[in-house]
Amino acid sequence: MKEKMPKNPWFIFFWISLFIIIFMLMNSTRQKAQEVELDYSQFKQNIKAGMISMVEVAPEIIKGQFKNEKGELLKFKTKPMNDPNLVKDLEENNVPKFNGVEKSWLTSFLLSWGPIILLLLFWFWMMRGMMGGGKQAMAFGKSKAKAANPNQTKVTFKDVAGCAEAKEELQEIVAFLKDPAKFQKLGGKIPKGVLLFGAPGTGKTLLAKAVAGEAGVPFFSASGSEFVEMFVGVGASRVRDLFEQGRKNAPSLLFIDEIDAVGRHRFAGIGGGHDEREQTLNQMLVEMDGFDTKEGVILIAATNRPDVLDPALLRPGRFDRQIVVPNPALSDRKEILDVHAKNIKIDAEVNLQVIAKRTPGFVGADLANIVNEAALLAARKDQTSANMKNFEEAIDRVMAGPARKSIVSTPDELKKIAYHESGHTIVAKMLPKADPVHKVSIIPRGQALGLTWQLPDGEKHLTTKEEAMDKIAVLFGGRAAEQIVFNELSTGASNDISQATKLATKMVTTFGMSDKIGPISLDKDSGGEVFLGRDISKNSHLSEKMSELVDIEIKKIIDDGLKTAMAILKKHKKIMDDMVAQLLKKETLDSDEIETIVKGRLEPVAG
């Protein structure tokens, strides 16, 4: 979950301080306007002339009242000088009232230190923001591990659909936590830590909770990102605290989400790495080495980035058991939908198998979301239960964001969008290896002005070179259509271009699909996230000649893709015109309608 900055107490403090300083500055300038600033010499002359009626001497300023030539009573100020005779002069010239004043403690403090404090605050705030922390800084020290009462952790393996293999492997942990002594008597060897690998939303947290629920032990959870704090030492003390809680409540289960936030390769960044993270990681290693499994504490951690983890974490005696939590396959998706659909009312006609088929690549969290959205959509329409249409709309929403009917495009723009999307659709239809088109629409949704939905046939885990080439051609279908019909380019294709470029780059540098370069991995960021130190050191072996060749090969793939798309659309311009006419009329076309248009069995559209 992302937290918003303004909730941070530092942030509020920062604005209040800024406000006070501005107020003070304004105040002092206002006073300046009413005061006459005198030179020290003028001040002394005025004393001698008997014009001064009152003097206040502060360490850094002398203020007072004097009469000018016209007899007006005015305020003045002047800078004090090292003048031991001042008091004598004041006395000798019968100044009626004079005294020394101390500047108010607060004013002088704020004036001298305020800007520095402000800068420091601002710096802290920026650093925290940069590190994505944004957590309440006031609460440091204590781990924010949330304890869940064993009786409250009602989640069991029944609530986790699919992931049969993961559940199977975790059974052993459950058996151990249920009765650690018995388990050990039987000679079972238990791992200290289990690492769950899987994409976000695949149910890793849910699985960990279910282990605790099944075993009936307390569940303590924390997130790796909570450990990486601004202040050195805080993360380490939180780790200590988490383990202590676990030990006190043994047998118990500790869960650390996003462990990659802590457990990244040490010395990864330039400049020797991140002190705080390193300390936290070291503390975690110390705790893991220190505790004995006899105590009955098990640590489960989750990450979607196993590649960036410090190898030290994976050594025997630490996270020595690693379990993959895969994206759900078709049958698993159906099961997950079943689990969540139990909580809402659905029409008898709703076929969850069809929904499961339509959602390859979706993870458990997405599917839970779809069911939830369908229920909300039904409620919004005052239906008593969710129907298939609600589910269809829910899929689109989860996939691409809600439809944005509020965006009104001009007729010209709509026509361009229609051609753009028809371009994608027709290229996809004509290329044998491209994923089938499920739907095309010119209703804006999320960030997109129009959309072409493609779904792979069944479950696919491998992509061939031909498929990748076809994919790139389909991505360029939109731009090619614009170029053919309007002979001008718009910004609408920027996302397509970036996707095509990414894929082409991967083909050359990772998949070894370029004949000229061959199967060499030249991938510069295997992690995906920019990791300055590693990137540079990893890529330094790339000769200038090789980088040039890589660029040439990428460009060739891109050019080929665009050429293919152009050729197809030029040849089938008539079909494209038909599709655009239908799209402008109906806004959305489903796969049957697209099929009809492409097969040329279309009746001419009137108007």
584, burial (CB in 10 Å: exposed 0-12, middle 13-18, buried 19+):
middle
- Identify what 444 binds: Zn ion, ligand ADP, none; CB under 5 to 8 Å per kind: none
Nearer to ligand ADP (CB atom), residue 200 or residue 456 = 200
CB 363 within 8 A of CB 328: yes
Binding mask 351-390 for ligand ADP (x = CB under 6 A): -------------xx--x----------------------
Whether 421 sits among the annotated catalytic residues: the reply is yes
Return the residue nearest Zn ion (CB atom). 478
Dihedrals phi, psi of 599, to nearest 5 degrees: -70, -5
Residues 355-384 close enough to bind Zn ion by CB under 5 A: none
| Minimum distance from residue 342 beta carbon to ligand ADP (Å) | 11
Pick one of 8, 153, 202, 505: the residue that binds ligand ADP (CB under 6 A): 202
Nearer to ligand ADP (CB atom), residue 206 or residue 298 = 206
| Minimum distance from residue 340 beta carbon to ligand ADP (Å) | 6
Return the residue nearest ligand ADP (CB atom). 364
456: nearest Cα among 367, 357, 364: 357
- Identify what 371 binds: ligand ADP, Zn ion, none; CB under 5 to 8 Å per kind: none
Which pairs count as long-range contacts for 34-42, CB under 8 Å and 24+ apart, including other chains?
Answer: 34/75, 35/63, 35/74, 35/75, 35/76, 35/77, 36/74, 36/75, 36/76, 36/77, 37/76, 37/77, 37/78, 38/66, 38/76, 38/77, 38/78, 39/78, 40/78, 40/79, 40/80, 40/81, 40/83, 42/78
Residues 197 and 258: their CA atoms lie apart, in Å, by 10
- Identify what 203 binds: Zn ion, ligand ADP, none; CB under 5 to 8 Å per kind: ligand ADP
Pick one of 336, 377, 474, 566: the residue that binds ligand ADP (CB under 6 A): 336
362: nearest Cα among 402, 388, 403, 400: 400
Nearer to Zn ion (CB atom), residue 368 or residue 500 = 500
| Minimum distance from residue 450 beta carbon to Zn ion (Å) | 7
180 counts as binding ligand ADP under rule CB under 6 A: no
Nearer to ligand ADP (CB atom), residue 254 or residue 469 = 254
Pick one of 153, 205, 237, 441: the residue that binds ligand ADP (CB under 6 A): 205
302: nearest Cα among 281, 319, 327, 279: 319
Nearer to ligand ADP (CB atom), residue 150 or residue 201 = 201
Binding mask 293-332 for ligand ADP (x = CB under 6 A): ---------x------------------------------
Residues 523 and 278: their CA atoms lie apart, in Å, by 27
112, burial (CB in 10 Å: exposed 0-12, middle 13-18, buried 19+):
exposed
- Identify what 496 binds: ligand ADP, Zn ion, none; CB under 5 to 8 Å per kind: Zn ion
Quick one: DSSP state of residue 221?
E
Catalytic residue among 229, 335, 373, 421: 421
- Identify what 336 binds: Zn ion, ligand ADP, none; CB under 5 to 8 Å per kind: ligand ADP
- Which residue in this structure is represented by tokens 């959205």? 373
203 counts as binding ligand ADP under rule CB under 6 A: yes
CB 524 within 8 A of CB 539: yes
Task: Provide the 10 A C-beta neighbour count for residue 206.
Answer: 21
Task: Provide the 10 A C-beta neighbour count for residue 56.
Answer: 15
Binding mask 491-530 for Zn ion (x = CB under 5 A): -----x----------------------------------
Task: Provide the 10 A C-beta neighbour count for residue 75.
Answer: 13
Give the residues across from 67 on adjacent strands.
73
**Catalytic residue set:** 421
> Which residues would be at the binding site for Zn ion (CB under 5 A)?
478, 496
